[in-house]
Amino acid sequence: MLISLRVGEALKIKVRPEDFVVSEALDIALAENGQHRVYILHKRGWNTVDAVGAVARASGVPVSQVRYAGLKDRHALTSQYITVPRQYVLTDKVPGISPEDLRLEQVGFSEDFVSTHNLRGNSFEVTLRSLSPEEAESIRSRIPEVKRAGFPNYFDDQRFGSVPPSGEFLAERVLKGHLKGALRLYLTAEYPGLTAAEKARRQAMSGAWGDWAAVQRQCQSGVEKHIVETLQRGGNKKNLLLAVNAIPPHEMTMYFAAFQASIWNQVLRALVGPATGATLFVPGKAGDYLFPRDAASGLLEKIRSTDIPTVARRILPCEPDVQATIASSIAERGLTAADLNLRGLHAAYLKSFYRRAVVVPDGLVAGEIVRDDLYRGRSKLVIRFGLPKGSYATMLLKALA
Supply the residues annotated as catalytic: 73
Q: How far apart are the first and last CA of the chain?
A: 24
Question: Which sign, positive or negative, has the C-alpha torsion 137, 138, 139, 145?
Answer: positive
Candidates 19, 279, 9, 3; CA nearest to 134 is 9
DSSP assignment string, 209-257: TT-HHHHHHH--SHHHHHHHHHHHT--SHHHHHHHHHTS-HHHHHHHHH
CA–chain centroid gap for 271, Å, is 22
Rounded distance, CA 154 to CA 338, Å? 26
**Contact in structure between 36 and 10 (CB atoms under 8 Å):** no
Plot region of 242 (φ>0 → left; ψ -120 to 50 → alpha; else → beta): alpha
CA–chain centroid gap for 340, Å, is 22
